Each structure stands twice: as structure tokens, then as C-alpha cells.
Amino acid sequence: MEKIEKALESFKKGYNCSQSVFSAYSDIFNVDRNTALLIASGLGGGIGRTGNVCGAVTGAVLILGLKYGFFKEDEIDLGKERVYSKVKEFLKRFEEENKSIICKELIGVDIETEEGLKKAKEEKIFGNICPKFVESACKILEEMIK
């Protein structure tokens, strides 16, 4: 539960959903917190606040890449199959639990528009709704990286 709490605390402090998930687990793979925060900084709000794939999902996918990814040339084919399989499993589980992996569908507002972003801020959607998705991503991730 420690990593989930760490992710939720980061999110509460104002870090985006992707940063919060990725930085909570990055130390397991020898990626320091500051580096993790930088790597994931553009992925919040559904990637650059476009409302696309949820940042909690992209943060988790980065961790899956560290756990199951590859870099050696002789592992390319097998490595792709391994990591893609794990990512697909994660996406399926997250979508089953939350009905979507798309930010604007999850929060019910298109934050790419000025009006949508204003509404999200006024209604405190990020603080009220998004922690559920951060927690969900972390719980699934914890089961997958044991």
C-alpha cells in the first residue's frame, strides 16, 4: 500500500497523474524521483492535456516498460511480445475496472478545450475524480510487477 499512498500524495501535491504513478514506482528500477517526474511530465491530462490516454495509465505503462521491456538487439522480437502482452493486459484490466482508458471519457469533460478545462477546475474534477484512477492504476500495476 506504500506505493499507492506515495502516488496519491504526489497527485495531491499537484503533480500530474502520470508523474504520480511513474515516480511512485520508478525507484524499484533505479530511476530516481526527479528523473521520473521529468520523464512523465508531458503525459498528464491524457498526454499534454489533450484528454487522450489517461496519465495514470501512461505512468503505469512506463513502469511496465522498465519491468518487461527490452533494449538488446537479440531480444527485440521476444521483448516486444513480452512488453506488449503486459501492456495489453494492463489496459484491459484498467478499462474493465473504469470503463475507459481515455481521460476525457473518464472525467466526463474535454480538458483540451478552454471551456472544458475551466469546468474541470471549477468543479474540482482533478482532485475529486482523478485520484480514483491513480489508485486503480497503482493497484493493477502492483499485481503485475510482483
Nearest-angstrom CA–CA distance, 36 and 26: 6
C-alpha cell at 117: 478545462
pLDDT of residue 100: 99
Total residue count of the chain as it appears in this document? 146
pLDDT of residue 1: 64
Nearest-angstrom CA–CA distance, 55 and 47: 6
| Mean pLDDT, each 10-residue run in order, the chain (146 residues) | 95 99 98 99 98 99 98 96 99 99 98 98 97 99 97
pLDDT of residue 91: 99
Q: How many CA atoms lie within 13 A of 118 on its CB side?
A: 3
pLDDT of residue 111: 98
Structural Rg of the chain based on CA atoms:
15
Nearest-angstrom CA–CA distance, 77 and 118: 45
Residue 103, classified by CB atoms within 10 Å of its CB into exposed (0-12), middle (13-18) or buried (19+), is buried
Nearest-angstrom CA–CA distance, 49 and 14: 14
